[in-house]
Structure 1
Amino acid sequence: MTATASESPLIPQPPATVTALRQAVAQIAPAALPSFTRELDQAADQARLGSDLAPLRRFTTQWALYVQIQRQPRLATRFRELEGLVEVGDAAQVRAAAAELGRILDIAREALAQDQS
């Protein structure tokens, strides 16, 4: 089965580098750039203070997942809908939405792992 234009990713998944992720975010979700920059600054400060690259690795992993989801319009829309349900839904809706969000994140992680191999 072939994907329709609306199901095709907007861009290829970029490598998990700060520069490539920044460019991807600028292209597919420019409103997220201030968060990207703020979180990058925080990760860099934490890495510097702790003499440890783990905060920067967490940052690139988090934003690679974000791009993996946001580059797929229908999936990104569904993800936002589910986040909204978590905020305002009743207990059953929150559980169901959280479970679906977890599945989406798991699939995104798997896709990223396949891209790296």
Structure 2
Amino acid sequence: MSAQSDGPYGPLIPMPELTPDALRNAVARIAPSRLPALTQHLFEATTNAQQTQSLAPVRAFLHSWAVFVAIERHPARAERLRQLEHVVDAGELDPAEAVAGIREIREAAEAEVGADPDWYG
């Protein structure tokens, strides 16, 4: 795991390694209700990897859950994302600013994950 920020407003947990076990442990700590979804996604990814004889499905799983953890380990970031998604889902306001905010949050999370995009297949 990478180093945790100092101060009371830092992340809840350090960013985990990009392995299924490390991501599962992180999700268990910060969003335990999402463990069934992670487990199902991992099962599907490994099944697809076997069927296609490619690691791309497993890499996509790792990326998806690493980004999820990178967002959720920062409670304010996660709450802001939920607010922005609500604006888009509600369809009552022009979603342009909300979409831009969602993109910004996801880009920050992807930067935290730090893996080379070519690594994912």
TM-score calculated relative to the size of structure 1: 0.87
Q: Identify the residue that residue 101 of structure 1 maps to in structure 2.
A: 102
**Ranges in structure 1 where 5+ consecutive residues have no aligned partner:** none
Deviations 1:6-42 (A, max 9, x none): x210000000100000000000000111111111111
RMSD, aligned α-carbons: 1.7
Aligned residues: 111
TM-score calculated relative to the size of structure 2: 0.85
**Deviation of 1:3 (Å):** 6.5
- The partner residue of 1:61 within 43, 60, 63 is 63
Structure that is richer in helix per residue: 1
**Ranges in structure 2 where 5+ consecutive residues have no aligned partner:** 116-121
- Separation in 2 of the partners of 1:15 and 1:64? 9
Q: Identify the residue that residue 27 of structure 2 maps to in structure 1.
A: 25
Q: Identify the residue that residue 44 of structure 2 maps to in structure 1.
A: 42
Which letter does structure 2 place at the counterpart of 1:40? L
**Deviation of 1:4 (Å):** 4.7
Deviations 1:38-91 (A, max 9, x none): 111111111111000000001001100000010001111111111111211335
Q: Identify the residue that residue 74 of structure 1 maps to in structure 2.
A: 76
Deviations 1:89-117 (A, max 9, x none): 3351x222111111111111112218xxx
